[in-house]
Amino acid sequence: MLVSRVQRVPHAERPFSPHELADLLVGEEHRAVTAAIMEIADIADRAMAEDRAFETGRASPERAVGLALRARDRAALEAADLIDITDPAEED
């Protein structure tokens, strides 16, 4: 309800960003759940890649790159949880 009211206000006059509000309220939980889901998907994809490599006798470099990129994205998402949202310098 609050966000719908803020969205009616012209962008330049909004007292806060609805996106920032959502991030402050549930951002940490959402990032943790997203990281867990990504980890489960990576485990499944890695198992399928290893199975396919075993069956064919060779690994797929494309799949290896894809897995590495997703692992990088998951690590970045988990690192966002470690960063404090409030900057101590701004509290002065």
Residue extents of the structural domains in the chain? 32-81
Q: How far apart are CA 38 and CA 68, in angstroms?
A: 12
Residues of the chain with pLDDT > 90, as a percent, come to 18
Tell me: the pLDDT tens digits for 6-17?
888 898 898 888
Q: How far apart are CA 40 and CA 31, in angstroms?
A: 14
Residue where the block lists tokens 């485990």:
43
Q: Residue 71: is its pLDDT beyond 50?
A: yes
Q: How far is CA 62 from CA 2, 13, 45, 69, in A?
A: 45, 47, 13, 11
What band does 92 get if pLDDT is binned at 50, 70 and 90?
very low
The pLDDT value recorded for residue 80 is 64
What mean pLDDT value characterizes the chain? 82
Q: How far apart are CA 64 and CA 50, in angstroms?
A: 10
The answer to whether 26 touches 41, Cβ cutoff 8 Å, is no
What would the mean pLDDT of 31-51 be, rounded to a whole number? 89
